[in-house]
Structure 1
Amino acid sequence: MLVSLEWLQQYVDLSGLTPEELAEKVTRTGIEVEGVRHLDDGVKEVVVGYVQACEPHPNADHLNKCTVDIGGTEPVQIICGAPNVAQGQRVAVAKVGAKLPGGVKIKRAKLRGEVSEGMICSLQELGVDGKVVPKDVEEGIYVFPESAQIGEDALAILGLRDTVIELGLTPNRSDCLSMMGVAYEVGAIVNRSIDLPTPTQTDVATGEFAGKHITVTVDATEDNPLYVAKLVRNVTIGPSPLWLQNRLRAAGIRPHNNIVDITNYVLLEYGQPLHAFDYDRFGSKQILVRRANDGEEIVTLDDEKRTLTGEHLVITNGTEPVAVAGVMGGANSEVTAETTTVLLESALFAGGPIRAASKALGLRSEASSRFEKGVDPNRVEEAAERAAQLMVELAGGEVLEGSVIEDHRTDEPRVITVPADKVNRVLGTEISPSDMVALLERLQLPTEASEGTLTVKAPTRRGDLVIEEDVIEEIGRLYGYDNFSYTLPRGEATPGGLTPYQKKRRLVKRAMEEAGLTEAITYSLTSEKLATAFALQQAETTKLSLPMSEERKVLRQSLLPGLLEVAQYNIARSQHNVALYEIGRVFLQEKAGQLPTETERLAVLITGKWTSHDWQAEVKETDFYVAKGLVTHVFAQLGISREVRFEQGKVEGFHPGRTAQILLGSEVIGTIGQLHPSEEAARDLKATYVAEVDLETLLNADLSSLGYEPIPRYPAVTRDVALVVDESVSAGTLRTIIEKTGGKLLEAVYLFDLYDGEHMEKGKKSIAFSLTYLNRDRTLTDEEVTKAHEAIVSAVKEQTDATVRGA
């Protein structure tokens, strides 16, 4: 809700308060002020000028040379390109030295050889939002009425010396969707009386009753409990007076003509939506409110044909729809320049049907937003009278006597009782019952206190006041949250802490960031094509019923497509060295139609040159072993390096010779390797290495906890062995055999050489390991080491047909 303080000042005295101070007070009492905008911010030295002469520029086809009286001793020459500039107009002129929004400063200049001493301004150039500029001056300058005085402050005439505050209203505070509602609120906050307008009726056409010319029938009484119709004849359609246009623009509404502007003005003033029909184009003397027929059509005011259903409430002339109730009128009965008789509608519509129609038709209007949240049922008739009064004053109309009303309201007055001691108990205060009454009556809530109990009569404008707690909240926020005493919470306190899973998860994040990787957070939604790409396990895809786009319609089954998109984005912007990790969820659906299972994964991506910030080691170009080292670093931090192994494998989307599966025991928990060259080419990537690990399986596994051992007191013994094996035998297989056979004395195994050169038999390769033996309780003997080493060599020979190189 945009609130003009100049308008609000008519209802409540704001003297002594700056806009910022008022905004702070309003925010502290429960309604957030989202912004304070001074409409003249950055604008000065703009006056009303009179165009004495206007002729085409001698050297430019689309420019005009104007002589303009700006109230000084001599007229000035201004070059203007507006298509609608003409002699005899009163216009807004930025004088030499003036400032306009955006830091524009007006200087004396030459345009195509002609001097220009100022600028004739459009509303947009003065800072007015283009969407609220009247359509007839949307592409040109604004022309003032004859009453504007030459040399007068143009900003003041245009209402731009005003300040607008924007209220961020929650749905329950629909009462503040009107200037009168805001006046009630602000009057209570600053503790000042309010003076609201009271409609008066003038120039009634004696002897002419509205009921002779129109009837109202409501079939859908639950959807439309109250309908009020009035007739105003002999109106003259024209522009609204400037003060009315200024009010609408400040509230974010475009002025149209005096009749339409009056309905919008009363909507803003009372919070009651109105609609004006052209009576002569209405098509009958009958108003029938009903549910639409399935397939029924209407062309709305935006010139769009819309197909209706039985869920939509419509206003008809007895046969065809003339408006979608509470949302938008029809083009077949709109007010035009030829309208002379206005049929004015003021009604109470239930929020549900209005919300459904607004959503289904893709139409959201100022009217629908208010009906959805609820309007004051006791101000429907008063708002109609107020609009009729303004049509008499501003359009020269005559109001036919009486209103045609169909009333099916059944709501009873709401009376809320609340014990005063409960108020203090809930708020932690010591407010007396008399002070509670005073606070509530500042909000114009009739209240009595008797025997320690408050009895509050909730007015119909405050539909949010229903239960005791609502009254307590009103007392608390007006009393002032800053006046509450500070107390500690009572009750049992239990220390918080991380679960074992959360602790391990933090270790993983720390390990990734220690290694120099940057965390990425990507979309959980992807396209159907990418949903199953690189997935560790295939499952049914989970599709959204109402996706935002084709690229975001399916829940992901792998984190890697998202990381690849991030890599592409960075590389396209010349960031060629990318090192990323992500911890996120994937969604696996066992059967179509079921909710998916959410599983947490760790994904890694590196490409280009890579540097570890903590390890102080630089890799010229990323390769498989860098990626493996990063993943192994995570396993080391978790203390499970020995339980995890890597086996060469072939996985779709990965390079066939540079890919491995990650196993925990016998279970595959991840994949690591280079992206397949075809995948890299499709994404315009160079050598890119990725890994994805099932983090939940890893962290929930029954593994020994991370521990620390003292530095050994006794020396270790190292023996090297080079094994000649078939090319099909992997280093991982040999390492597994060595570790199983080595027993307690084998402390560590390191692979340090691979050879398959010209001196090696065809189909064979040599793999060399360094084995470290250690007894932490005493010094090892040569006999013990030799026995353990020979056992290992014997086991390797037996299980892989290996031979010891050089033996």
Structure 2
Amino acid sequence: MSTSGIEVEGVERRSAGLSKLVVGEVLETQQIPETHLNICQVAIGEEQPTQIVCGAPNVKSGIKVIVALPGARIAGNHKIKKGKIRGVESLGMICSLEEIGFPENVVPKAYVDGIFYMPETAENGAEIFDYLDMHDEVLELSITPNRADALSMRGVAHEVAAIYENTHVNFDEKMLIESDEKTSDKIAVEVATDKVLTYKMRLIEEVKIAPSPQWLQNRLMNEGIRPINNVVDVTNFVLLYFGQPLHAFDYNKFDEKKILVRKAENGEKITTLDSSERELTDEDIVITVAGKPVALAGVMGGENTEITDSSTSVALESAIFDGTSIRKTSQKFNLRSEASARFEKGINQADVEIALDYAAAMIAELAGGKIAAGVVSNNDFTAKDVTVSITLDKINRALGLLLNELEVTAIFDRLGFVTTVTNETFNVTVPPRRWDIAIEADLVEEVARIYGYDNIPNTLPNVSNTIGELTAMQKFRRVIRTNLEGAGLSEVISYSLTTPEKAVQFTKFPTENLTALAMPMSEERRTLRLNLTSGMLDIVRYNIARGNDKLAIYEIGQVFAKFGNETDNRPTELPTVALAMTGKAYDFYDIKGVVENLLTKFDKVRFEADKAIGELHPGRTARVIVGEIEVGFVGQVHPTTAKAYDIPETYVASLDLTVLLANQPEQVIFTDIPKFQASRRDMALLVDRHVTNQEILDIITSSKVKTLAKVELFDVYTGENVASTKKSLAYTLTFQSAENQLTDDEITAAVTKITKKLGEFGAEIR
């Protein structure tokens, strides 16, 4: 089964590891004074009864129980020994279902806090395993979402039959015996929403609610479902058997003999079976009687029509509800159930009425009811077969096989598909139980599964022996990544999909360059990004909210822009690197320094003040220019934008990797290490506040001092002793000659030349 696509995750037998567990009959009980304990005399098929001390609240004489004899192994590999309790000898243990391995959530409520009563027909001293079907082997299957047809015993049976080359599956049938009274005379059904494909109902009267027979309880417990009573248990059994969810209403609790299925009204309320009041919206589907909701369609019934021990008439529902609506409702209320899961993934539409009839007959059999004649429904819905055509050549080419017509036809026959062949074309009629099959590729998959993936020969692809090599962009990205990580930044990855509003932030692209998704999964992920920065700010916010208030991060990724190409409307992918820094440890010059270090090998890198990007601070933002080409920006996030993202002062940068790669120096020219010592002079300038560092650097460079090797800005000051319209810029000038050691006079002359040039610009030497 696993190799055919339905994976068997495990095989479990509840009796595994258990031993010496027998049926016992409690003949007599005597309470130990001042305790909750009872001394029980238990018949276990031997000449004399066995004395066992039991603390269960529901122990009494005359019941059949589970007895663990001395030396027995129970759940958890615990061994039972003879012992004394309060000075009284105890020769074994009377067990609950949990103590022999049943999970609490499947134990009938009557026995959750006590011991389990075995059937009265159980033979004293006999092993309990057969009575509880504990020797049954339970297969745990992993069903993929596309194979919801296997979420039922009948669906799995069809699959097993196909694997083992059987072409016909025989299923148990129930004889439906109807009374003379008509269902249509007692109840009517109306559907007022297109979210319900069909809605059917039957009526069973004069039922007697009681516990289900032991075989049915065993079956449900082995399937992980708690037995309730002989009506509710039938609906759960049919759910497992057919994969068709059903719901049973107490017909006598209906205020009106008419069912209306409709969308809920906003603010409408219902109390569900778990005693929780839930407020509904118009996205939910409700079953109503006399204007009041009695069930949340496909999810959970209402408390006001619950089947109880006093119920005598059952209105039984079988329907096909819209899977998307059911999913939204179940997620909203956190009410994930076996029924809602099947509606979400799809059900066999051909079995809606068949499952209803089977359940009605089973209820009549187990609860002694009378089935009213006929089914009431909102329409005459009939499930239809689907016909898919495919050629033999397509099957063989897809699988790399040389199958013939007879082999392929035999596979379709094993699957229960009716097939006709015309000119090597298979016309395959697929029954409604396989609603996952609709196109040629589905048929190819079916042939591969049943033929056997292991039987398909392994072949190596025909490829040339070309040695692989990284592209120039891949190499460049690696260099960028190494540089940034060396600078202490951590790499992040943000979503490529965002909102149209965030997509156009931090960019000069117009909205016409946006790429919208035709079928977005959510409003927050409906547009391809035009920038990396907005996604990084989301990451900053996420970390800030969790106490990580010092961040230095980067991302290398693609942004997507449409450029109106008439022949190809697909967006262009633009490789980009973005940086973000936040926290008291960082300021504008930190992130600018990282960018400068990143661009060390590029010629003529400069930064020019820029106000074009509205999401950046107009006084703390610069364009990054290499040569004469703008490659990106560096700056502080505008306070208004930072507030919108709920983040503190943050600095960001973004560079276009395509432009950088195109302008990368082709050759690195190595020069000799200077033989003569460098000399440094510090210089502080008083300039107008609007003057930029780049302007000062340009003036110093224009002085054409040949021995000037480097200029570095090391301080910017505004405040005391500096006019409010001015600022102080402090630089370190490095002088060095490759020909001789510079004298003080030569350096002084060079500084004077630079000072004169700065003076012409209006800069004052402090």
Shared fold (TM-score, shorter chain, > 0.5)? yes
Closer/same/farther in 2, CA of residues 745 and 646 from structure 1, 3 Å limit: same
Task: List per-residue Cα deviations over 1:210-232 (Å, max 9, x = no partner).
Answer: 35853545466976665554443
The structure 2 residue matched to 1:200, chosen from 166, 174, 181, is: 174
CA contact (8 A) 1:225 1:408 kept: no
CA contact (8 A) 1:236 1:340 kept: yes
The structure 2 residue matched to 1:186, chosen from 147, 160, 167, is: 160
Alpha-carbon distance between aligned partners in 1 of 2:173 and 2:313, rounded to the nearest angstrom: 21
- The answer to whether 1:669 aligns with 2:669 is no
Closer/same/farther in 2, CA of residues 556 and 586 from structure 1, 3 Å limit: farther
Counterpart residue type for residue 172 of structure 2: T
Closer/same/farther in 2, CA of residues 691 and 257 from structure 1, 3 Å limit: same
Counterpart residue type for residue 245 of structure 1: Q
The structure 1 residue matched to 2:140, chosen from 158, 162, 165, is: 165
- The answer to whether 1:477 aligns with 2:449 is yes
Matches within 5 A, 1:31-180: 31-32=6-7, 35-36=9-10, 38=12, 40=14, 44-45=18-19, 47-48=21-22, 64=37, 67=40, 69=42, 71=44, 75=50, 77-78=52-53, 80=55, 83-86=57-60, 89-92=63-66, 122-124=96-98, 126-149=100-123, 157-161=131-135, 162-171=137-146, 173-180=147-154
Closer/same/farther in 2, CA of residues 167 and 702 from structure 1, 3 Å limit: closer
Secondary structure at the aligned position of 1:255 is classed as coil
Counterpart residue type for residue 510 of structure 1: T
Aligned twin of 2:679: 719
The structure 2 residue matched to 1:270, chosen from 214, 237, 242, is: 242
Secondary structure at the aligned position of 1:509 is classed as helix
Counterpart residue type for residue 795 of structure 1: K
Counterpart residue type for residue 771 of structure 1: F
Give the C-alpha shift of residue 712 in structure 1.
2.3
Aligned twin of 1:437: 409
The structure 2 residue matched to 1:692, chosen from 621, 631, 652, is: 652
Closer/same/farther in 2, CA of residues 444 and 37 from structure 1, 3 Å limit: same
Alpha-carbon distance between aligned partners in 2 of 1:193 and 1:74, rounded to the nearest angstrom: 55
- The answer to whether 1:461 aligns with 2:425 is no
Alpha-carbon distance between aligned partners in 2 of 1:752 and 1:517, rounded to the nearest angstrom: 23
Alpha-carbon distance between aligned partners in 2 of 1:515 and 1:157, rounded to the nearest angstrom: 71
Secondary structure at the aligned position of 1:454 is classed as strand
Secondary structure at the aligned position of 1:461 is classed as helix
Alpha-carbon distance between aligned partners in 2 of 1:691 and 1:249, rounded to the nearest angstrom: 60
Closer/same/farther in 2, CA of residues 252 and 708 from structure 1, 3 Å limit: farther
Closer/same/farther in 2, CA of residues 371 and 717 from structure 1, 3 Å limit: closer
Task: List per-residue Cα deviations over 1:759-780 (Å, max 9, x = no partner).
Answer: xxxx999865432344xxx999
Closer/same/farther in 2, CA of residues 53 and 350 from structure 1, 3 Å limit: same
CA contact (8 A) 2:635 2:652 kept: yes
Matches within 5 A, 1:308-327: 322-327=294-299
Aligned twin of 1:612: none
Aligned twin of 1:771: 735
CA contact (8 A) 2:272 2:278 kept: no
Give the C-alpha shift of residue 520 in structure 1.
4.8
Closer/same/farther in 2, CA of residues 299 and 726 from structure 1, 3 Å limit: closer
Counterpart residue type for residue 475 of structure 1: V
The structure 2 residue matched to 1:795, chosen from 752, 757, 763, is: 757
Task: List per-residue Cα deviations over 1:111-143 (Å, max 9, x = no partner).
Answer: 888887876555455554444343333444444
Secondary structure at the aligned position of 2:678 is classed as strand
Q: Structure 1-normalised TM-score?
A: 0.69
What are the ranges of 5 or more consecutive residues in structure 2 without an aligned counterpart?
512-520, 526-531, 561-572, 610-615, 718-726
CA contact (8 A) 1:51 1:66 kept: no
Secondary structure at the aligned position of 2:448 is classed as helix
Give the C-alpha shift of residue 382 in structure 1.
2.7
Give the C-alpha shift of residue 258 in structure 1.
0.8
- The answer to whether 1:643 aligns with 2:618 is no
- The answer to whether 1:422 aligns with 2:382 is no
Alpha-carbon distance between aligned partners in 2 of 1:179 and 1:607, rounded to the nearest angstrom: 60
Closer/same/farther in 2, CA of residues 59 and 415 from structure 1, 3 Å limit: same
Counterpart residue type for residue 64 of structure 1: L
- The answer to whether 1:395 aligns with 2:359 is no
Aligned twin of 2:668: 708
- The answer to whether 1:243 aligns with 2:215 is yes
- The answer to whether 1:281 aligns with 2:241 is no
Aligned twin of 2:568: none
Counterpart residue type for residue 669 of structure 1: F
Secondary structure at the aligned position of 1:457 is classed as strand
Closer/same/farther in 2, CA of residues 714 and 316 from structure 1, 3 Å limit: closer
Q: Structure 2-normalised TM-score?
A: 0.72
Matches within 5 A, 1:357-372: 365-372=337-344
Give the C-alpha shift of residue 267 in structure 1.
1.7
Give the C-alpha shift of residue 795 in structure 1.
3.4
Secondary structure at the aligned position of 1:258 is classed as coil
Alpha-carbon distance between aligned partners in 2 of 1:403 and 1:255, rounded to the nearest angstrom: 27
Matches within 5 A, 1:528-607: 557=534, 559=536, 562-563=539-540, 566=543, 581-583=553-555, 602-603=578-579
Counterpart residue type for residue 434 of structure 1: L
Closer/same/farther in 2, CA of residues 698 and 482 from structure 1, 3 Å limit: closer
CA contact (8 A) 1:301 1:328 kept: yes
Alpha-carbon distance between aligned partners in 1 of 2:282 and 2:67, rounded to the nearest angstrom: 55
CA contact (8 A) 1:109 1:115 kept: yes
Give the C-alpha shift of residue 435 in structure 1.
0.8
Secondary structure at the aligned position of 1:694 is classed as strand
Secondary structure at the aligned position of 1:191 is classed as coil
Alpha-carbon distance between aligned partners in 1 of 2:588 and 2:51, rounded to the nearest angstrom: 77
Alpha-carbon distance between aligned partners in 2 of 1:560 and 1:111, rounded to the nearest angstrom: 67
Alpha-carbon distance between aligned partners in 2 of 1:142 and 1:706, rounded to the nearest angstrom: 84
CA contact (8 A) 1:535 1:558 kept: no
Give the C-alpha shift of residue 287 in structure 1.
4.4
Give the C-alpha shift of residue 396 in structure 1.
2.9
Secondary structure at the aligned position of 1:476 is classed as helix
Give the C-alpha shift of residue 262 in structure 1.
0.4
Task: List per-residue Cα deviations over 1:364-420 (Å, max 9, x = no partner).
Answer: 543344345443343333323322332233223344555556752355543444332
Which segment is superposed worse, 693-702 or 183-192?
Answer: 693-702
CA contact (8 A) 1:745 1:773 kept: yes
Counterpart residue type for residue 719 of structure 1: S
Alpha-carbon distance between aligned partners in 2 of 1:396 and 1:427, rounded to the nearest angstrom: 55
Counterpart residue type for residue 415 of structure 2: L
Secondary structure at the aligned position of 2:360 is classed as helix
Secondary structure at the aligned position of 2:417 is classed as coil
Which segment is superposed worse, 337-346 or 131-140?
Answer: 131-140
Alpha-carbon distance between aligned partners in 2 of 1:797 and 1:785, rounded to the nearest angstrom: 18
Aligned twin of 1:378: 350
Alpha-carbon distance between aligned partners in 1 of 2:683 and 2:54, rounded to the nearest angstrom: 92
Alpha-carbon distance between aligned partners in 2 of 1:716 and 1:599, rounded to the nearest angstrom: 43
- The answer to whether 1:634 aligns with 2:598 is yes
Alpha-carbon distance between aligned partners in 2 of 1:403 and 1:416, rounded to the nearest angstrom: 33
Secondary structure at the aligned position of 1:36 is classed as strand
Secondary structure at the aligned position of 1:670 is classed as strand
CA contact (8 A) 2:687 2:763 kept: no
Task: List per-residue Cα deviations over 1:409-443 (Å, max 9, x = no partner).
Answer: 35554344433233223333211111111111111
